[in-house]
Amino acid sequence: METKAKDAWGLLLVLFLGQLVAFTMAAASFASSFLANLGVNTPLTQSFFAYLLLTLIYVPILLHRRQKPRIPWYWYLALAFVDVQGNYLVVKAYQYSSITSVTLLDCWTVVWVIILTWYVLGTRYSFWQFVGAGTCVAGLGLVLLSDAKSPDEQGIYEFQYQQV
């Protein structure tokens, strides 16, 4: 009986952390879009704080577990370089497009992360992880369809182009 309670709390913790990450990403997207609309050009600064937060969380966990990296350090450096460039381009894209368009483009990172970690790191994914990734991409595809059918969308784009 005690094991089931631990499993339930573990599941709730994972769900909570997933929602926290989703909220944080939505807030960062909103902030990037808001700053771009104000004419503020700071994609590197915005990305720096995200990577600083990841470092402050992940490095102590890695040190506490005393784990050794699974692959040579230069692979991590190469993946970090590609990730930073991609994140820079995503944040920069808010200056040229709507938040919906950038979010839809950004959703493809899920697919590329799966492909690259499978190839470079040798990560193996379960069926349910593929179902989760497919659900994310399908959900964002539905957002695209709903925005395409929206009668208000044309007015929004005209307003954005008039401000530039």
Domain boundaries, the chain: 2-163
The label of the residue with tokens 């709390």 reads 9
Contact present, 71 and 130 (Cβ < 8 Å): no
H or E element, residue 91: helix 73-93
The label of the residue with tokens 């790191």 reads 121
- Angstrom distance (rounded) from CA 117 to CA 133: 14
Write the pLDDT tens digit of every residue in 126-159. Answer: 998 888 888 878 877 787 777 666 665 554 444 4
> How far is CA 133 from its chain centroid?
12
Contact present, 102 and 37 (Cβ < 8 Å): no
Among residues 133, 49, 138, 58, the alpha carbon closest in space to that of 91 is found at 49
Predicted TM-score (pTM) of the model is 0.58
Write the pLDDT tens digit of every residue in 51-106. Answer: 888 788 888 888 888 877 778 888 888 888 888 888 788 788 877 877 777 777 77
